[in-house]
Amino acid sequence: MIARTIFWQAVFGNAGKYDKAATITLLLFAGVGALLGAWINEQRLLGACEGSGLMLATLAGLYWLRFATGAATQNSPANAALVPRLTSHARSAAIMAWLLTMALMLPFCFSSRLGVLSFVLLSIGVTGAGMYRAGREDGLVVAVLAMLLYVVAVNWPSLRPALVSAPLLAVGATASLACGWFGLRAAFPRGGEAHWALLDKQRKASALDNLSNWDEVLTKDGRRNRVYSFLLKRYGRIGAGKSTMLMMGLGPGMHSFHYGYVVLVAIVLGLLVKPVAVWLSLPVDNLVNNIGVHLMGGVVGLVATTAIRFAITIRATAGEQALLMLTPGMPRKPVLNRELGRRLLGTALTEWAVVCLTAFALVAVWGGDRFAFQNTAMLMAACLVAAGFSLDDYARKADVSIVGAILLSAWIAIMLFSSLILVESQLTWWIMFSAMLGSALLHIRMRWQRMMQAPLAFPAVRLA
């Protein structure tokens, strides 16, 4: 009974609007994908799994992370001392949550080219991610290694026969069980100093749920402030414009070069992929399909994060904004929202353009065909929607419309799926691309009007 209570509270106890919106959206995508996959593929079950597997696996991963965080928090040293056998119940709940998580990932594994190997690697990755969320940083290393091995197995068919052989699968399954056995005890220790030592690491890991908290955790010791300090010193010396200094006053994550190093790393690695593959005598044919598909998912996440960070960070720096309002040279109240909006949107669009150029350049370097360029263009048009999320009514707390988020996500998904199916027809594709681009621009326009008609942005959330 206690194990079920821990499981239920950890997963659903404090689910907010964003959690509900993500759940409904992923389930909707999974349903639509299953229907489309079954319609396109003659093997109905395989097609349905191909269409819904990734969405279901993502949903399972999100709830697994929620559980690992919540269960580890409930199994605190103080609670464990007060509630008899709490640690044992937490471990039982973790086993049940792990089994349910892997059950939701079965459709993805069934449709994967790696078959059983994908299930083994995912099981190790899920265990490692859960360990990290519970405060064990070595779990993150395990999860990353499992992911890298999965990418290698998918992208280089010549290695696949060896990796999916019975002896290696047996070794992998044994390693998965051993990782689970160790992870269960490492994540839920029975009191002692090891238990207390996990608390700070748990808070650091759970800070990933909130970008402003994450930024605060990573910058509290100055590790990521060097670029910000350099820019602030330079802007002060040259007398930079008011809008530039306005952004700098909102914290280390708000300047235009915050994600520049990520794009630089992507360019360097992207340029090295082909020569390294040739040097290792690995197949380099169709690199866009073999590697680009996986990297483009990271592109979507990067572009969305760069735009959404503004809305989160502004609401997290109300104290700084109160001081900014007292400084000479600040934009006057009637034009503050317009100046701020221009700077936010300009930064988001600049970062989008840089990522866009990077994606097209890598496709060209890898020898992509016309379809690869078309798919990249459609994806980047969809990413442009994220720029609108940098604009909002910042005088009030964030309020997400579940229905609006679902409709917008469904529309983007339908357009992307349809463009992949109808990519052969040039006229049809151009119509769909224009519709996607128009939808993104309309979304930006609506969010801009919302911000311009809102009360004064600073200090944020004062009307909540």
The closest of 393, 384, 389 to 441, measured between CA atoms, is 384
The closest of 86, 97, 93 to 126, measured between CA atoms, is 97
**Across 12-32, average pLDDT:** 75
Question: Rounded mean pLDDT of the chain?
Answer: 78
- How high is the pLDDT of residue 451? 92
CA distance 94 to 209: 20
- How high is the pLDDT of residue 16? 65
Residue 252, preceding peptide bond in cis (omega within 30° of 0)? no
Q: What residue ranges do the domains of the chain occupy? A: 2-209, 233-452
Q: What is the pLDDT of residues 262-314, one digit of tens each?
A: 667 667 767 777 777 666 665 666 665 556 555 655 666 667 677 777 887 78
- How high is the pLDDT of residue 72? 79
**Across 361-370, average pLDDT:** 78
Residue 464: how many other CB atoms lie within 10 Å: 11
CA distance 457 to 229: 25
- How high is the pLDDT of residue 293? 55
The closest of 409, 298, 309 to 355, measured between CA atoms, is 298
Amino acid identity at 98: W
Q: What is the pLDDT of residues 97-139, one digit of tens each?
A: 899 999 999 999 888 878 888 888 899 989 988 888 877 777 8
What percentage of the chain reaches a pLDDT higher than 90? 5
Alpha helices for 188-281 (secondary structure H): 192-206, 211-219, 226-238, 242-248, 260-279
What percentage of the chain reaches a pLDDT higher than 70? 75
**Across 423-446, average pLDDT:** 88
- How high is the pLDDT of residue 286? 62
Q: Give the residue with greater pLDDT, 131 vs 398.
A: 131
pLDDT at 209 over 70: no
pLDDT at 445 over 90: yes
Confidence of residue 446 (pLDDT cuts 50, 70, 90): very high
**Across 89-98, average pLDDT:** 86
CA distance 368 to 352: 21
The separation between CA 401 and the C-alpha centre of its own chain, rounded to angstroms, equals: 20
Q: Give the residue with greater pLDDT, 51 vs 332.
A: 51
Q: What is the pLDDT of residues 234-246, one digit of tens each?
A: 777 777 776 677 7
